[in-house]
Each structure stands twice: as structure tokens, then as C-alpha cells.
Structure 1
Amino acid sequence: MDIQLVRIDDRLLHGQVATTWAKTTRINRIIVVSDEVAANPISKALVSQAAPPDIKAHVVTLDKLVEVYFHPMFLNVKVLLLFTKPSDVAAVYKRGVYINTVNIGGMKFTQGKKMITHFISVDDSDIEAFKFLDARGIELEVRKVPSDRKQLLMDILKKGNHI
């Protein structure tokens, strides 16, 4: 599997991902990796419908991603992995899915989360997952779209005294 982009965006597949990121990364497949989304037939259908016509979109569980990551059939497939939360990224990394950079595009505010930018909110579980990934040398960069200036998530967390 040729991973072109790993992105965390709880809005899943929407205009920014479907158009700008897909075009910039020249992928031919988007894989939403989430046990929760995979268990919801409506969400799965919406993801498939939101994909650009020339790009296949799938929703898989974490287990399924690990299984297909090592399958020879996907060796030269250029993919964008789309996650809803950082703990899932950490979980697949622990199981051997090689990741060197994670783009954080959107994590909505909910009860118990702190706003760290105008489009990213985190709780303690998110921060622990980000710290785990950072400790392994994985770049955690914040950008909504490719043309935005890249910011490092760990710098934002440190500046705001969140870690």
C-alpha cells in the first residue's frame, strides 16, 4: 500500500478531502478507517457517494486495514487514509502500518474537549495518542487544505500548555 496521506478529520469525506487533497496527492483510493463508521451502513453509503468519480472510496475497520495493508494486491495502490480520531492512528501504527506524517484537518468540539485551534478540539485521550505518535518521530501537521501554511501540532499543544 502506497500511503500518500494520513489525515484525521471527523467530518470524513467532504469537499476539501474529495477535491483538493485527492488531487494534490494523486491518489486512486480513499480508505476511511473507523470501527464506528464501518458499523453504520448509512455513513458507509455517504462516504462512497462523496468520493470523486475517478477515486474508489471504502470504509474499513482497523482490523481490515491492517489485513489489507500487508496484502500484495494493494502494493502499488496510492491511498489516502482518513481517520476520525488519533487513537485509531496510534492503534494501526502499533500493528505495523507504517506512517511518517499525519495531517490533522478537523476534530470538532464536544463535551470534555478543549479547543486548540478554530477547527481542532482535543481531550486527554487525543493528546496521549498524539504524544505516542510524536515520540515515534511521526510528524503531526495541521492544515485544512494543501495551500495552508503547515503548523506542527505539538508546537500548538505546547504553546497552549496542553502538554
Structure 2
Amino acid sequence: MAEAGIVWTRIDNRLVHGQVGNAWVGATGANLVIVADDAAAEDKVQQQLMKMTAESAGCDIKFFTLDHAIDVFSRKTPKKSILLVVHDPAAVRKLVEGGVPIKSVNVGNMHADGKKTVYHESHVYVDDQDLADFDAIKAAGVDLFIQILPTDRKTEI
């Protein structure tokens, strides 16, 4: 088992789905998935679907708002190996600026919408705000890279 604490942080617009459950839980050694997302923390239907995916991977799952995640990680030393999943770069930036001990961030799927353009990979679309958030995350000393699947190569950002 991996060391206790946040062992992997992933940006994925889909949050927890088959790819996260089937590939990333095993690759990271996580035994707890924490979804830090304000909307998902309130959506019981979405939680139930994500819970089924996590359980099929043999993993527990919890749902936190971003503020609750900052609060929890500032007061507790995790005893679990955590795969932290967020929706977008703005969420990671808020967590990092709030003191959550994130060392690296795996950028996964970021879907196209509106004014977003492809960024290095066909699954990663960004706008100016996403790029500003990437810059702030990197400026905080966090390693940032694109990797869709554990078997894919890493592309440093």
C-alpha cells in the first residue's frame, strides 16, 4: 500500500468514472478516493454513481466541498492513501492556496466547451483562466503534468 496522505491528485471533468476506478486506483495504491467538488458534494445521484465505481475498485469514497477539503487537510493527518479528484484547475489552485499538501497534479480529461482550445493532448482543452490557474499551481511548487492513463507518457506542463 502507498504511504498515507494524498498519493495522487487528478483533474478530470468527469470526476470518478471507470477510468479512474479501473486504472488510477490500482496504479496509485489508493484506498480512499476523495472528490473535492462543490456541486458533487451536494448531488446524491452523482455520488451514488461514483460510489459504485469506487466500490468496484475496492476503494472507499468521500465527497467534500472545496472549503471542507481545505478544513479537513489542515486539521488531520490522513491515515488512508488518498486519490484526490477535482473537476478543474481552479479547484486545485484553491486547494493549494488553502494549504492542502498537494505535491503533483495529474491533468486528465478537460472537455471542450465554448472558447476552450486543445492543449497538448486531444483530451485536454483550456481557456485563459485554466492557463492562469496552471501557472499559479506551478508557481506554488506543484509538479503539473498531463497523463490520461497510467500507461501513457507524462507531458509536463
Q: Under a length normalisation based on structure 1, what TM-score does the superposition of the two structures give?
A: 0.87
Q: Report % sequence identity.
A: 31
Gaps of 5+ in 1: 154-163
Whether 2:67 is the aligned partner of 1:63: answer: yes
Gaps of 5+ in 2: none
Q: Secondary structure at the match of 1:118?
A: strand
Whether 2:5 is the aligned partner of 1:2: answer: yes
Q: CA deviation at 1:83?
A: 0.5
Superposition map of 1:3-152 within 5 A:
3-53=6-56, 54-72=58-76, 74-116=77-119, 117-152=121-156
Q: What is the distance in 1 between the residues matched to 2:146 and 2:17?
A: 17
1:44 partner letter: Q
Q: CA deviation at 1:15?
A: 1.7
Q: What is the distance in 2 between the residues matched to 1:138 and 1:75?
A: 20
1:39 partner letter: E
Q: CA deviation at 1:147?
A: 1.2
Q: CA deviation at 1:67?
A: 2.0
Q: What is the distance in 2 between the residues matched to 1:70 and 1:78?
A: 16
Q: Under a length normalisation based on structure 2, what TM-score does the superposition of the two structures give?
A: 0.90
Q: CA deviation at 1:14?
A: 1.5
Q: CA deviation at 1:25?
A: 1.1
Q: Is the 8 A contact 1:8 1:84 kept in 2?
A: yes
Q: CA deviation at 1:87?
A: 0.5
Q: How many pairs does the alignment contain?
A: 152
Q: CA deviation at 1:16?
A: 1.7
Q: Secondary structure at the match of 1:51?
A: helix
